[in-house]
């Protein structure tokens, strides 16, 4: 099997890409803590770990169930030229050419993170509604969006420190998602990971340097945080295009609350049912695209959404969120020379006297107010274009 050397660690361990898999082979004894279904948990007898794309060309079964998961992983290890009894692995739908590798060092301590990532279809927030329950061989599905992390540390450490390193690594992954404002696919919350994430932590048993702390106060914890955050962000960009630039969009920011082009189009058709001039879907999408990246609207929209988040988290009351939300809508419309009175929008915004205990009602009303504002801006843009076209037609005698 063709093997491409991607990187050599200072421990002598090598990272190769073999077909659509990444394999990290050990040059000596290593302590490994992993979430792998193949030789997972804490092990000292492994010689390699791998990250495998389930859609690769190895010719193996990809419909993986809990009953055959271990068998499938064993077949993958053999196909990669590894001894199944001495290997641990992770599966993903992400492509290995989109893996990110980051190393951070301090004195003689070195931490390397190798990450493949995606959250477009499988990103979730801890506590979201589950998709399966393990009972007598229930299906364990792998959907696109897994974040898999290899974390190689050149120092030695006891088992409990490896466990703490796993916690710090997970916090770093979640921090990367938070900094990108990646939304959950299963709720209106921010994603904290995907439903199928995997992690493998590797420590060097041969090192004379033994560490006992991997939390945020320790230098090891800092290096783990820096390496994993950077690698997760880069891997997400390479696999899905997720980045600060791509997130500068009202549709991207509001997606977790159900706002998409089609839902806004259906709302527009209802909103403009008895009014002229009307828009085609293509015209509507074009005008929405302009608003979607408007600097003033995007910046104020992020504040509007943050009000919803803080209300959901219980940090501010629904009525406080409503009042601040009204101010934001008024500010956005004012930037176009409009006021909420247009199309009766002010009547929809004035909901201070509603039951403050009904948080869900406030969420739906605030979203509806925002939708009405966007539709009003689209109609305003359309009317401006329509008048301009009419004036042009008259000028040329048409």
Q: What is the pLDDT of residues 182-218, one digit of tens each?
A: 999 999 999 999 988 999 999 999 999 999 999 999 9
Q: What's the pLDDT tens digit per position in 226-257?
A: 999 999 999 999 999 999 999 999 999 999 99
133 pLDDT higher than 90: no
pLDDT at 57 over 70: no
Statement: residue 325 has pLDDT above 80: yes
Per-residue confidence band for 272, with pLDDT thresholds at 50, 70 and 90? low
In this predicted model, what pLDDT tens digit does every residue of 160-191 receive, in sequence order?
999 999 999 999 999 999 999 999 999 999 99
pLDDT at residue 355 is higher than 50:
no
- pLDDT tier for residue 141 given thresholds of 50, 70 and 90: low
- Chain-wide mean pLDDT for the chain? 86
The answer to whether residue 344 scores a pLDDT higher than 60 is no
pLDDT higher than threshold 90 for residue 397: no
Ordered by where they begin, the domains of the chain are 4-240 (3.60.70), 250-395 (no CATH)
Strand partners of residue 5: 16
The token pair at 273 is 């049912």
The whole-number pLDDT of residue 383 equals: 73
Percent of the chain at pLDDT > 70 equals: 82
Helices 318-334 & 295-312 angle (0-180, nearest 10): 170
Residue 346, burial from CB neighbour count under 10 angstroms (0-12, 13-18, 19+): middle
Read off the pLDDT band of 152 (50, 70, 90): very high
- CA separation, residue 317 to residues 91, 142, 342, 370, 371 (Å): 43, 39, 28, 19, 22
Per-residue pLDDT band at 341 (split at 50, 70, 90): low
- Tell whether omega for the bond before 277 is within 30 degrees of 0, i.e. cis: yes
Give me the mean pLDDT over the 6-17 stretch.
96
pTM for this one? 0.88
- Round to whole Å and give the CA distance between 72 and 78: 10
What does the block give as tokens for 351?
A: 């909901």
Phi, psi (degrees; rounded to nearest 5) at 29: -60, 135
Q: What is the mean pLDDT of residues 256-280?
A: 82
Q: How many residues in the chain? A: 398
Q: What is the pLDDT of residue 144?
A: 59
Strand residue runs (E) in 236-393: none
3-class secondary structure, 13 = coil
Phi then psi dihedrals of residue 46, to 5 deg: -90, 150
pLDDT of residue 70: 84
For residues 76 and 60, the answer to whether their CB atoms sit within 8 Å is: yes
Q: How confident is the model at residue 221 (pLDDT cuts 50, 70, 90)?
A: very high
> Could you read off the pLDDT of 20-39 as tens digits, one per residue?
899 999 999 999 999 999 99
The percentage of residues in the chain with a pLDDT greater than 90, rounded to a whole number, is 70
Answer whether residue 137 shows pLDDT above 70.
no
- Stretch 353-357: mean pLDDT: 48
């Amino acid at each position: 099997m063709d093997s491409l050397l991607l990187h050599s660690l200072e421990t002598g361990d090598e990272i190769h890409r073999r077909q659509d898999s990444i394999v990290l082979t050990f040059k000596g004894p290593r302590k490994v803590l992993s979430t792998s279904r193949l030789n997972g948990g804490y092990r000292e007898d492994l010689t390699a770990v791998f990250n495998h794309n389930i859609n690769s060309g190895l010719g193996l079964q990809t419909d993986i169930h809990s009953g055959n998961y271990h068998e499938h992983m064993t077949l993958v290890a053999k196909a990669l030229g590894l001894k199944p009894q001495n290997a641990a692995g992770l599966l993903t739908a992400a492509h290995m050419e989109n893996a990110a590798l980051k190393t951070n060092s301090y004195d003689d301590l070195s931490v390397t993170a190798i990450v493949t990532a995606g959250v477009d279809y499988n990103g979730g927030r801890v506590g979201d509604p589950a998709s399966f329950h393990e009972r007598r061989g229930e299906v364990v599905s792998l959907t696109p969006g897994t974040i898999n992390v290899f974390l190689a540390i050149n120092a030695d450490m006891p088992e409990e420190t490896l466990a703490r390193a796993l916690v710090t690594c997970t916090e770093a992954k979640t921090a990367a998602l938070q900094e990108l404002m990646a939304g959950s696919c299963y709720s209106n919350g921010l994603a904290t990971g995907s439903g199928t994430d995997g992690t493998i932590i590797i420590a060097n048993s041969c090192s004379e340097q033994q560490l006992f702390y991997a939390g945020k106060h320790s230098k090891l914890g800092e290096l783990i945080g820096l390496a994993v955050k950077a690698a997760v962000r880069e891997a997400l960009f390479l696999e899905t295009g997720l980045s600060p630039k791509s997130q500068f969009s009202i549709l991207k920011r509001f997606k977790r609350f159900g706002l998409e082009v089609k839902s806004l189009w259906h709302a527009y058709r209802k909103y403009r049912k008895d009014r002229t001039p009307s828009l085609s879907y293509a015209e509507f999408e074009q005008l929405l695209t302009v608003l979607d990246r408007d600097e003033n609207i995007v910046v104020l929209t992020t504040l509007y959404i943050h009000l919803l988040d803080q209300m959901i988290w219980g940090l501010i009351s629904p009525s406080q969120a409503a009042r601040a939300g009204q101010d934001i809508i008024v500010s956005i419309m004012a930037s176009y020379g409009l006021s909420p009175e247009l199309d009766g929008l002010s009547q929809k915004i004035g909901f201070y006297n509603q039951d403050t205990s009904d948080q869900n009602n406030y969420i739906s009303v605030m979203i509806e107010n925002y939708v009405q504002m966007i539709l009003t801006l689209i109609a305003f843009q359309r009317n401006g274009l329509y008048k301009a076209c009419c004036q042009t037609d008259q000028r040329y005698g048409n």
